[in-house]
Amino acid sequence: MSIYEADAYVRRVELLRDQIPTNQVYPFNLGAVRTLSSLELHPKVTYIVGENGMGKSTLMEAVAVACGFNPEGGTKNFNFTTQATHSPLHEYIRLVRGRNKPKDGFFFRAESYYNLATNMDELDREEGNSPPIRDSYGGKSLHEQSHGESFFSAFTHRFGGRGLYILDEPEAALSPLRQMAMLARIHELVQNHSQFIISTHSPILMAYPDSIIYNLTAEGMEVRALEETDHYVIMKEFLNNKDKMMRELFD
């Protein structure tokens, strides 16, 4: 049994290629999908990285929906729909699950987190939940916190361990300091038997050591070390040679 099969809640994502109607239209024409056959997931942390437009969010969404999460995010108990824009990719993938089932789970989408917060407030008002849903997120409406604070409230309070957590660009509203705190929180949850699948542009968040990084390009997908990712290389070059890079950008 490989490391990827040992304790993962989801061991592998397989594309049902023989059932795909065509490779000429979205999302099947994306490089990451067009060349995908099987994606092995790390039992602790799997990163999906790459430039904008490579299909990261589409792939993350498909995996999340196949796992039973709402396309717009949240736990499996959320079923709200603001606008049904998710792709049909989830219908063409198969999840190879591990021997254990997660006791917790969350699909975090930075782009639709506002909609999730709104739905939580509506449910607390309309149904008179006891205790209110917001109690699981620190006891305060997410709309009454800053963007970054509301993000971190979910990571800190709602993620309870022994869970499968799928995060799409969680760094979107986090300062570098909060991103480092997020790494520490990921480590706490991994130690409590959690598995993460994370799409990110942040070299800080990519730095968790016991992980695998898949880099998506127009040609497909490949495994890279943190130091080999464009995100790390460009950020390091900018910080080390800021003046030179600024001259090149502005000339």
* Token pair 């490949």 in the structure block, residue: 222
- Measured CA to CA, the distance from residue 15 to residue 94 in angstroms comes to 6
Both tokens of 72, joined, read 């717009």
- Measured CA to CA, the distance from residue 251 to residue 165 in angstroms comes to 44
Give counts: helices (H), strands (E), the chain.
Answer: 8, 9
- Measured CA to CA, the distance from residue 229 to residue 221 in angstroms comes to 12
What integer pLDDT is reported at residue 140 of this predicted model? 73
Question: Pick from 153, 156, 218, 168: which is nearest to 47 by CA?
Answer: 168
What integer pLDDT is reported at residue 38 of this predicted model? 93
Task: Compute CA distances 164 → 198, 209, 237, whole Å.
Answer: 11, 18, 35
What integer pLDDT is reported at residue 109 of this predicted model? 85
Cβ contact 138:153 at 8 Å: yes
- Measured CA to CA, the distance from residue 234 to residue 230 in angstroms comes to 6
What integer pLDDT is reported at residue 1 of this predicted model? 42
Cβ atoms < 10 Å from Cβ of 7:
15
- Measured CA to CA, the distance from residue 46 to residue 52 in angstroms comes to 18
Any alpha helices (H) in the chain, and if so which ranges? 3-6, 31-34, 56-66, 113-127, 147-153, 176-191, 230-240, 242-250
pTM for the model stands at 0.89
- The residue ranges of the chain whose pLDDT is under 50 are 1, 3
Enumerate domains of the chain plus CATH numbers. 3-250 (3.40.50)
